[in-house]
Chains A and B, each alone.
Chain A
Amino acid sequence: MTAALDHAPEAEAAALEPLPVRIRDAVRTGNLGSWPVLTALLLVVLFFGITAQNFFTPANFTNIITTMAGPTLIAYGVVFVLLIGEIDLSVAFVSGVAGVVVAEAQLPTGAHLPWFVCILLALVATTAIGVAQGSIVALVGVPSFVVTLAGYEIWSGVILRSITQGVIVIQDNKINDFSNYLFGDTAGWIMATIVSVSYVGGMLWSAASGRRHGIRIHDPLLFWLKVCVVPVVSFLTVWILNKDRGVPLALLLMVGALVVWTFVAKRTTFGRHVYAVGGSAEAARRAGINVARVRIMVFAIAGGMAGLGGIVLAARLNSVDLNAGGGTLLIDVIAAAVIGGTSLFGGRGEIRNALIGAALIYTIESGMYIKGWTTGVIFMVTGLILLLAVTFDTVVRRVQVRAGR
């Protein structure tokens, strides 16, 4: 603007409504964030903690974390795909492919490559798969549902063809450490400290830089709540895990990936463009965003994260067999993203939804196994929760549109 400004940049009127009014507004406009799922998680933990023996124990906590690590890593990628309004049905078997690549590459009687080369190979392969599938979606215009459904068939076929002997045992313990390694007590405390300090520091720093530009903290209550909650949760987690055998490397991977991808989604131009493409691809195109490039990169992320998750899953079993990537894995990872609050319609969601959703699914699963319920019941319950989450999302969308006018 060349025109003279007769208004100095003044801070936004900080006339915040009182808390009850804001809660009512949030409910009315469907702007609830992660609260419904977190509440559900709390209720589930309470329910099983009271009714099931051996549920509320440090050992089971470790168990849930190592079980959910692989699926959660895959689900992070699924969140990105859902954010641009697409779907990736191939992630589960792509993760199986990563397991097969790692297992084949480390075979002492075969390639016998060092562990990091095996990991790298698997990640490169799955990312390439993502790029290929994404290119067909973005450049040719085939619906992602069909492309990745084809991928689902193709990669499950590849796994069946590759494991002729039925199972490949991973003998390289460095690879198995991806799921099974446990840090000592001190290392755990150090990690909790690093996470807390960097989170609180980052929050305060960004608040300070906002103040320099005349921007006040939008909601002081929420701000200080966040600043307090993250250190409390991280120290509590480490404390419980140290009561068992220590912090698993799998947890570090989950948290590390969460931080990295949240940063990418929320603080980079690429992330902004991901949300824009999900909101309105046409608007993004007119704004000069290379929509095809964004789509391909998103599918590449989904492929790469499926690969990382697949490595953790293979490491957990110390082997890869014909079931790699099969079973309920696909449903679990997509459900995790959706139950966590990521919209299937694109443009709405957070990376942490995958973590929260996976925590809910695998906590319920663990509780039901401990109570001795059968797999059939577990499937039914998971299905019902998924239905509930998607219905909720649909209603929220309608409410938001109505509240907008």
Chain B
Amino acid sequence: MSAAPPPLLELTGVFKSFGSVQALTDVDFEVRAGEVMALVGDNGAGKSTLIKCVAGIHPMDDGEMLFDGRQVTIHSPKEAANLGIEVVYQDLALCDNLDVVQNMYLGREARNWFQVLREPPMEARTRETLASLRVTTIKSIRQTVATLSGGQRQSVAVARAVMWNSRLVILDEPTAALGVAQTEQVLQLVRRLGEQGLGVVIISHNLHDVFETATRITVLRLGRNVGVYEKASTTQQQIVEAITAGEPTKVSGIPSAHGAAQ
């Protein structure tokens, strides 16, 4: 048991309130490298708030964050990116008028000392990244994102997140606006990220998606932990019950967090 490496990301005792609203109460959360961790819960369960704390958009009121076993504090999205944490937001955050390469490198363009863009390396690297994720449906990486389908756009957004030596990729409702075939395409991509050794967090309302991709499932309810479930030994029915009527637990909710459970 002690031989296991520390989880990639480990949060313990996170508190967060907005004014008088207590959004997160004593929440624990962890992701291991190479696993897809689903984060589920009803509206207002605190999923997005928790993710925003990790991404550096909201500061935590209280709680501890370990990344790679080291204690870290994140104050801005840039600091999160520097650690290798990337978030793919629900509304994509792509520029429709730019092409695939330009979107992949948005804000981090390859340039020389005169701020002149270096297109060939950007184009080559984009092609490599998409190929390594087996995103093959995009005809030309020089077409504008406006001409892509929803699934292709989501693939670009995910590929952008993993291109920067990222270690933890957080996907907020990645299939919310997609059709059946496109959903399948994105879910495959999510599984592949895990297989490549990244830590993946997927937030979803759709339990089908969750069971298709996740290795473990963390359930939040009303800003508290309900539990962490191994997908292999859980039914959808159990997860639904946990989401709607689960009893808040503490510590026992993280069975693998050997160090945290004092």
Contacts and interface: CB of A to CB of B under 8 A. Distances in A.
Given A29-B147, A400-B146, A5 B132 contact: yes
A400 B117 contact: no
B132 A286 contact: no
Contacts of B140: 12, 218
Contact of B106 (A210, A212, A289, A348): A289
**By CB atoms of chain A within 10 A, which of B81, B106, B114, B132 has the most?**
B106
Contacts of A3: 132, 196-197
Contacts of A215: 120, 123-124
Contact of A268 (B97, B117, B141, B142): B117
A7 interface: yes
A405 B124 CA distance: 26
Given A3-B196, A9-B128, A268-B115, A213 B107 contact: no
Interface size class of B (residues with CB under 8 A): 35 or more
B93 A287 contact: yes
B102 A272 contact: yes
Interface in A263-318: 267-270, 272-273, 275-276, 278-280, 282-284, 286-289
A273 B131 CA distance: 26
B252 interface: no
A260 interface: no
A101 B108 CA distance: 41
A347 B95 contact: yes
A272 B109 contact: yes
Nearest to A272: B109
B93 A288 contact: no
A7 B120 contact: no
Nearest to B193: A3
B165 interface: yes
Contacts of A236: none
A370 interface: no
A5 B127 CA distance: 11
Interface size class of A (residues with CB under 8 A): 35 or more
Contacts of B115: 268-270
B209 to A, nearest CB: 22
B163 A9 contact: no
B132 A1 contact: yes
A212 B142 CA distance: 18
A287 B107 contact: yes
B258 interface: no
B120 A269 contact: no
Given A2-B165, A269-B111, A289-B107, A12 B127 contact: yes
B64 to A, nearest CB: 27
Given A267-B117, A279-B98, A7 B128 contact: yes
Contacts of B89: 286
A401 B98 CA distance: 14
Nearest to A282: B93
Interface in B158-190: 162-163, 165
Given A1-B132, A267-B116, A288-B77, A280 B124 contact: no
A282 B92 CA distance: 10
B95 A276 contact: yes
A377 interface: no
A51 B252 CA distance: 90
B132 to A, nearest CB: 5
Contacts of A1: 128-129, 132, 162-163, 165, 196
Contacts of B162: 1
Contacts of A279: 95-98
Given A269-B109, A272-B102, A9 B127 contact: yes
Contacts of A7: 128, 131-132
Interface in B105-161: 106-109, 111, 114-117, 119-121, 123-124, 127-129, 131-132, 140-142, 146-149
A275 B97 contact: yes
Nearest to A348: B97
Contacts of A283: 92-95, 106
Contacts of B128: 1, 5, 7, 9
Contact of A404 (B77, B95, B147): B147
Interface of A: 1-3, 5-7, 9-10, 12, 29, 209-210, 212-215, 218, 267-270, 272-273, 275-276, 278-280, 282-284, 286-289, 346-348, 400-401, 403-405
11 contacts: A210-B119, A215-B123, A267-B117, A272-B102, A275-B98, A276-B102, A278-B97, A279-B96, A280-B93, A280-B95, A287-B108
- Going nearest first, the 9 A-B pairs with the smallest beta carbon separation are A287-B107, A279-B95, A7-B131, A213-B120, A347-B97, A279-B97, A3-B196, A288-B107, A287-B106
